[in-house]
């Protein structure tokens, strides 16, 4: 199924006195992919800026904005419209035989291409993440889809979502110990857990469609802002989406913008400013994801 959607992402900063701004980099345009198509997009800033578009080493779309004048307020408005193709469940993508059970069997070429997503990135000083990873596999061998579903269920049933204003991502050990965190924390813990079981996994930042905004009854955690989840490479299916915050697999409601080996490579908006620390009054973020209608699937030769 395909849907026509529109996303508007507004981020604003306020200061008590005029400050100067350094270069800012934003990731808000979806990645080039077979499951999506961009129809139009725009980027605007409340202060005069030079805007250019680049691609980073992971093929993420990056908007680079340079400022020459000071101000007491700075607002970024990103807007785009596109078509999103999605599936309701991972079962719609049959796995190859070598991927049906844990541990997965990647080919030599896959190992070479996926090595950066297979190696754990975060420290695990007390081996708590490694021990937690083993708890999801029965008798050292288990069905791949069962292990992934069991992990999503555990986040949903035993963790507490805890929004916070502080920047950055908790370490996997912190999130596991407190059984709480944001969508970025959940995704990072699940990634590092899966890597310790031999799954190639990567961090994803993007947007989530919340049917409640269009009159649906069930609201999604993480809507109204950028969202984070992960992708797992499963031979036969490819890179599949898993959202531990909302217990989503396959990614029908998820629109990927940026991927990374770790959360620091997929920051939605980053930049610098110069002025007195006490001048900073805070920031606001508002994201709306609207479904404009269904689109008939078609194939082009």
Note the CATH number of domain 2-84+267-291. Answer: 2.60.40.2250
Q: What SS3 class is residue 290?
A: strand
Whole-number Å distance between alpha carbons of 209 and 105: 34
Residue 299 is predicted with a pLDDT of: 44
Domain ranges of the chain: 2-84+267-291, 90-265
| Domain range 90-265, CATH class | alpha beta
Q: Are 185 and 193 in contact (CB under 8 A)?
A: no
In angstroms, rounded to a whole number, what is the distance separating the alpha carbons of residues 38 and 291? 14
Q: pLDDT digit of tens for each residue in the chain (301 aa)?
A: 677 889 999 999 999 999 999 999 999 998 766 667 889 999 999 999 999 999 999 999 999 999 999 999 999 999 999 988 766 655 667 899 999 999 999 999 999 999 999 999 999 999 999 999 999 998 766 999 999 999 999 999 999 999 876 778 999 999 999 999 999 999 999 999 999 999 999 999 999 876 654 545 445 555 556 899 999 999 999 999 999 999 988 766 788 999 999 999 999 999 999 999 999 999 999 988 888 887 765 544 3
Per-residue confidence (pLDDT) for residue 86, from 0 to 100: 64
Using CA atoms, how far apart are residues 99 and 146, in angstroms rounded to an integer?
A: 12
């Amino acid at each position: 199924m395909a849907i026509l959607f529109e996303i508007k992402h507004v981020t604003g900063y306020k200061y008590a006195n005029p400050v100067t701004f350094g270069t800012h980099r934003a990731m808000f345009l979806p990645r080039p992919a077979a499951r999506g198509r961009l129809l139009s997009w725009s980027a605007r800033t409340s202060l005069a800026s030079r805007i250019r578009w680049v691609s980073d080493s992971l093929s993420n779309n990056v908007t680079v904005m340079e400022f020459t004048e000071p101000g007491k307020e700075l607002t970024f408005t990103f807007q785009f419209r596109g078509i999103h193709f999605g599936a309701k469940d991972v079962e719609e993508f049959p796995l190859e035989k070598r991927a049906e059970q844990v541990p997965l069997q990647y080919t030599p070429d896959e190992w070479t291409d996926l090595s950066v997503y297979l190696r754990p990135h975060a420290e695990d000083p007390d081996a708590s993440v490694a021990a937690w990873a083993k708890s999801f596999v029965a008798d050292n061998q288990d069905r791949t889809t069962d292990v992934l579903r069991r992990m999503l269920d555990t986040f949903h049933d035993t963790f507490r979502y805890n929004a916070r204003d502080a920047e950055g991502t908790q370490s996997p050990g912190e999130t596991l110990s407190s059984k709480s965190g944001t969508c970025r924390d959940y995704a990072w813990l699940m990634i590092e857990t899966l890597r310790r079981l031999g799954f190639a996994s990567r961090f994803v930042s993007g947007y989530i469609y919340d049917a409640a905004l269009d009159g649906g009854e069930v609201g999604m955690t993480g809507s109204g802002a950028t969202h984070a989840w992960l992708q797992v490479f499963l031979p036969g299916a490819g890179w599949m989406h898993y959202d531990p915050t909302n217990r989503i697999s396959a990614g029908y409601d998820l629109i990927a913008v940026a991927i990374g080996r770790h959360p620091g490579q997929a920051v939605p908006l980053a930049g610098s400013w110069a002025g007195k620390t006490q001048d900073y009054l805070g920031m606001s973020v508002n994201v709306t994801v609207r479904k404009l209608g269904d689109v008939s699937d078609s194939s082009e030769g």
